[in-house]
Structure 1
Amino acid sequence: MDKVLIYDTTLRDGSQAEGINFSVEDKLRILEKLDEFGVHYAECGWPGANPKDTILFERLKKIKTQNLKVVAFGSTRKAGKKVHQDQQIENLLRSGARVITVFGKSWDFHVIQAMGTSLEENLDMVYETVRYLKEHVEEVIFDAEHFFDGYKNNPEYALSVLRSALEGGADWIVLCDTNGGCLPNEVYEITKAVKESFPQARIGIHAHNDSDTAVANSLMAVLAGARQVHGTINGIGERTGNANLCSIIPNLQLKLGFEVIPPENLKKLTELAHFVSEVSNIPLPKNMPYVGESAFTHKAGVHASAVMKRSETYEHVDPSLVGNRRKVTVSDLSGRSNILYKLKEMGIQVDERSPELVKLVEKIKELEKEGYHFEAAEASFELLCKRHFGLVKNYFDLDAYRVLIARRSTDVSPVSEATVRLYVGDIKQHTAALGNGPVSALDRSLRKALEEFYPNLRDVQLIDYKVRIVNESEGTSAKVRVLIESTDGRRKWGTVGVSENIIEASWIALTDSLIYKLLKDEEEGII
């Protein structure tokens, strides 16, 4: 089985994405996860280019990795300068990295127009830099910047740049689609031509995603002979991003049969993707292949029915292989199969011919017709099902609530006040609270009434609140759907409420959120 080595550049190329600003500690935490996962190389930054990367490499000198090689990144020597007199080359050596990657121009257009030097001088820059570094470090990787564009414009010169790197002692020559403009067929043919020109060379691929083909380009390069693949976790990177390793790795291993990551480590892929998403503060798209929350989600009844019989009917791989899980959602497209699957997840066993199941399906479809939306509100759906089967106890009974909004001429903004009257058993509670809006006031007043009896509700925080118009054509009489996301620090859940009155819709979603917390804690024996 052929082996493909993974070269992660999340900490260098990935950090160039708009909105990302990794701290030194962030980079060290990600590096630890990459090492545990089993990537082979991790490009950590450009020593000397900024104080943060310089500090990082000083810290890395004291850290021993188990699986990966730490890589320092830089460029070839400057034109007209001796390699040993180039400060950035010396910074690379002082970094202490076992492996150094340098990039050089391979597109004649760039050499002449961007660098303003001669084609011959550029070849000398590549050769001398690689040779000098190879005398001092274990491994030198040469990134042929803009290689595919260069090859299409002047194949002889692009190949001569690779030849200079190999003659200088480069361990790897990496073909870069720096502008991300190449298509898979081009990458395959050009990589194959390079392999034929340098049959003994070890070749890598570094693809950007500007044409939305970075993953496909990387796979085609491997099929043409490349054995090192560059990319980032979740495909983060400058402009439209880099090749997404979260798709490349399982495609290579599960689909093409290459040896990449130990199978037991591959099960950590989804966890790794979500970890990098959290640290980078870039939300992971739900529909991201393999690792997204919706990657193995089934909505249509036909799909759910088939998946319950044989998972491969609508799943290209077993989600557990990459650490993800199957999810069946409930919507107006759902049939009994979806509901049965969800009930089974909740531990409720029901015969598929049960009249109660028929009634539940009809109830769900009626609610969907009214504007309810359970795909993003699984907590409300679980409560609906368990209430239907009498599995949710009465934690409290509402007597009345009232919300007042007032603004005097002297007020900067309106003042919201809510009062709640309810019963917990035979005990009547009457509370009032202010909030920065009507829903905030209602939430505070409701909690105030309940926390005396259920102190664990103090853990609950509302982290998202969305309002959607259900039937726009009705104007101000339209129904609204309120979606609320809550957390208690251990888990997150979504609840939904629908009404012509936004306060009532909010009340439904709010009460469901708190009741769900009480139900789950009771099931776990916490209360």
Structure 2
Amino acid sequence: MATKSRFIQLMDTTLRDGEQTQGVSFTPAEKVNIAKALLQSLRVDRIEVASARVSAGEKEAVTNINQWAKQEGFDGCVEVLGFVDHTRSVDWILETGGSVINLLTKGSEKHCREQLGKTREQHTADILQTVDYALSRSLKVNVYLEDWSNGYQNSPDYVYALMDSLKEAGISHFMLPDTLGVMSPDEVFTSFSDMCRCYPALQFDFHPHNDYGLATANVMAAVRAGATAVHCTVNCLGERAGNASLAEVAVVLRDKMNMQLSIDETHIVRLSNMVENFSGKRVAANAPIVGSDVFTQTAGIHADGDHKGGLYKSRLSPERFSRSRSYALGKMSGKASLKKNLELLEIDLSEENQKKVLARIVSLGDSKQTITTDDLPFIIADVLESKNYQHIKLLNCFITSGLHLESTASLRLDVNGAKHVISGAGNGGFDAFIDAVNKAMKEHDYTVPPLADYEVRIPKGGHTDALTECVITWNCGSELRKTRGVHANQVFAAIMATLKIINMQLHELNQNTA
């Protein structure tokens, strides 16, 4: 059944509920920066930034956020969780310059009885006392019905009796949490629909958790049932399995339910990166919207379809989030994947050279090496300058290196059909390799020329597992010659460059003696 388009508020609780993630504690400065980005850049409607009476650092952060919010026109958008403690939480919030309290009440009879040791009537009296005091001090009051999902299931009479007692109390939002993330979409729709039908004049927020991985689906059900606001966090931060992902919720509500939202999607990834850095909780590479790999096509057939007609593109485009699509290079790459990357680099190669480069990419991918667009110029340069000389072949190589220990190299070589098993030692792995090669090549009246220069680099912005390019300048008597090697291991990159100079010189020697 189609849902009529309407405006849905997004309330981000990264700075309150998200901070209940194991091991996450934002500094006051980090909280202020995240709050500013959420309201000013991403344009969420409301943010919940702290729990009252937690610490002096928390109070400092909330005070700074409230001061900034008032100056920038976001007064009323900053909310703080408070407790049913009459004056204490309200006064704490007022001292920070706050204007909204989200009052935590018990939404299930079991919580009320076993955690508070009170009857519903006693708890209701305490709630109304705190609400009245907050309203008298000009605070806006929202109310959480903690554990509402279980309360509705196990003690619906308690829930309705509590709502009947509070519905005329001047509360702005009734916030219905699935505190333990136990609901399914059908259960959310049924229970939320009942609440909206029984209390049509009230505004209901939905506060989901993701314990069953259903948080986003449950948001859809709640909105379909009549929720006017949804709570979420950046990067799914939150206790246990976390809360609903802000990125997922925003995109699903817009794309799948045609809802109207305030947020500016182009800042979603920037906020995700900020929270990732401040929280220390890494985002999965395949996380929807914000993951590093989600706009990367790996299979060559997908790249081919995009090249011929955008066949593997959808409404969920990277450009919406200030990102770009990429085409992975590896053993599953095809011609189209390579062409897409060449277009990005503005490099033009002949069909023959494209085949050579693709063969090298597939070979590297087969050895489980990660290849990026930044690696591609190294691979191209290496392939294009390579000749098919096979006078010397490295069949096997084992190199050891250690601190304050001499390095060793054990090699199996094929030199013009002759097999050599040889070892060498030296000051470092490459030096040990050269020693071993020179021992083998004595039988062929050849010595590796001395080095005039040796340069190693990785792609700009590369990682420690990036491909390494080694360019060696050789002193070949009357001239200097350069060869290049490309490998994930810098010693083996140098070895590849060495094998090239040997093959080139052996080829020339063979031609001169022919």
TM-score scaled by structure 1? 0.73
Deviation digits for residues 424-469 of structure 1, max 9, x if unmatched? Answer: xx9835xxxxxxxxxxxxxxxx7xx78xxxxxx899898645xxxx
Deviation digits for residues 361-409 of structure 1, max 9, x if unmatched? Answer: 233223333x15234x443334213444569xxxxxxxxx99554469x
SS of residue matched to 2:211: coil
- 2:26 is matched with 22
Distance 2:105 2:149 in 1: 13
- 1:75 is matched with 83
- 1:4 is matched with 8
Does 2:31 correspond to 1:33?
no
- Amino acid aligned to 1:274: N
Kindly state the Cα deviation for residue 510 of structure 1 after the two structures are TM-superposed: 13
Kindly state the Cα deviation for residue 126 of structure 1 after the two structures are TM-superposed: 2.6
Deviation digits for residues 306-338 of structure 1, max 9, x if unmatched? Answer: 123343634351211122221110222221111
- 2:356 is matched with 359
- Amino acid aligned to 1:23: T
- 1:379 is matched with 374
The answer (yes or no) to whether the contact 1:39–1:261 under 8 Å persists in 2 is: yes
Distance 2:494 2:124 in 1: 70
- Amino acid aligned to 1:254: D
Kindly state the Cα deviation for residue 142 of structure 1 after the two structures are TM-superposed: 0.9
Distance 1:509 1:151 in 2: 69
> What is the aligned counterpart of 1:52 among 50, 57, 68?
57
The answer (yes or no) to whether the contact 2:334–2:358 under 8 Å persists in 1 is: yes
- 2:186 is matched with 185
Distance 1:66 1:387 in 2: 58
SS of residue matched to 2:290: coil
Does 2:336 correspond to 1:340?
no
SS of residue matched to 1:170: coil
- 2:243 is matched with 242
Distance 1:32 1:122 in 2: 36
- 1:163 is matched with 164
Distance 2:250 2:235 in 1: 11
Instruction: Give the RMSD, CA atoms, in angstroms.
Output: 3.4
Distance 2:56 2:160 in 1: 36
- 1:317 is matched with 316
Note closer, same or farther for the CA distance 1:148–1:255 as it changes in structure 2 (3 Å cut).
same
- 1:273 is matched with 272
SS of residue matched to 2:254: helix
* Structure 1 gap ranges (5+): 78-82, 392-400, 409-415, 430-445, 451-456, 466-481, 485-494, 512-527
SS of residue matched to 1:267: helix
- Amino acid aligned to 2:358: V
Distance 1:97 1:279 in 2: 24
Deviation digits for residues 89-145 of structure 1, max 9, x if unmatched? Answer: 322333321221111001001111111111211222233322332232352211111
Note closer, same or farther for the CA distance 1:299–1:419 as it changes in structure 2 (3 Å cut).
closer
The answer (yes or no) to whether the contact 1:483–1:509 under 8 Å persists in 2 is: no
- Amino acid aligned to 1:296: F
Distance 1:189 1:307 in 2: 42
Report how many aligned residue pairs link the two structures: 427
- 2:252 is matched with 251
Q: Runs of at least 4 residues of structure 1 off by over 6 A?
A: 419-422, 457-463, 506-511
Distance 1:510 1:133 in 2: 75
- 2:131 is matched with 130
Kindly state the Cα deviation for residue 59 of structure 1 after the two structures are TM-superposed: 2.1
SS of residue matched to 1:268: helix
- Amino acid aligned to 1:181: V
Note closer, same or farther for the CA distance 1:364–1:181 as it changes in structure 2 (3 Å cut).
same
* Superposition map of 1:469-508 within 5 A: 497=487, 504-505=491-492
- Amino acid aligned to 1:203: F
Kindly state the Cα deviation for residue 244 of structure 1 after the two structures are TM-superposed: 0.8
The answer (yes or no) to whether the contact 1:374–1:380 under 8 Å persists in 2 is: no
The answer (yes or no) to whether the contact 1:126–1:164 under 8 Å persists in 2 is: no
The answer (yes or no) to whether the contact 1:144–1:162 under 8 Å persists in 2 is: no
- Amino acid aligned to 2:300: G
Deviation digits for residues 182-211 of structure 1, max 9, x if unmatched? Answer: 111111111111110111111101111111
- 1:289 is matched with 288
TM-score scaled by structure 2? 0.75
Distance 1:105 1:45 in 2: 19
Note closer, same or farther for the CA distance 1:259–1:67 as it changes in structure 2 (3 Å cut).
farther
Note closer, same or farther for the CA distance 1:506–1:138 as it changes in structure 2 (3 Å cut).
farther
- Amino acid aligned to 2:452: K
Instruction: Give 1 or 2 for the bigger CA radius of gyration.
Output: 2
The answer (yes or no) to whether the contact 2:105–2:146 under 8 Å persists in 1 is: yes
- Amino acid aligned to 1:28: V
SS of residue matched to 1:167: coil
Note closer, same or farther for the CA distance 1:407–1:102 as it changes in structure 2 (3 Å cut).
same
Distance 2:217 2:170 in 1: 30
Deviates more, 1:140-149 or 1:55-64: 55-64
The answer (yes or no) to whether the contact 1:130–1:142 under 8 Å persists in 2 is: no
SS of residue matched to 1:164: helix
The answer (yes or no) to whether the contact 2:231–2:244 under 8 Å persists in 1 is: yes
* Structure 2 gap ranges (5+): 387-398, 407-425, 435-449, 469-484, 499-514
> What is the aligned counterpart of 1:368 among 337, 352, 365?
365
Distance 1:239 1:248 in 2: 19
Kindly state the Cα deviation for residue 508 of structure 1 after the two structures are TM-superposed: 7.9
The answer (yes or no) to whether the contact 1:269–1:291 under 8 Å persists in 2 is: yes
SS of residue matched to 1:362: helix
Distance 2:12 2:153 in 1: 27
> What is the aligned counterpart of 1:428 among 452, 477, 494?
452
SS of residue matched to 1:359: helix
Deviation digits for residues 464-500 of structure 1, max 9, x if unmatched? Answer: 45xxxxxxxxxxxxxxxx878xxxxxxxxxx9846xx
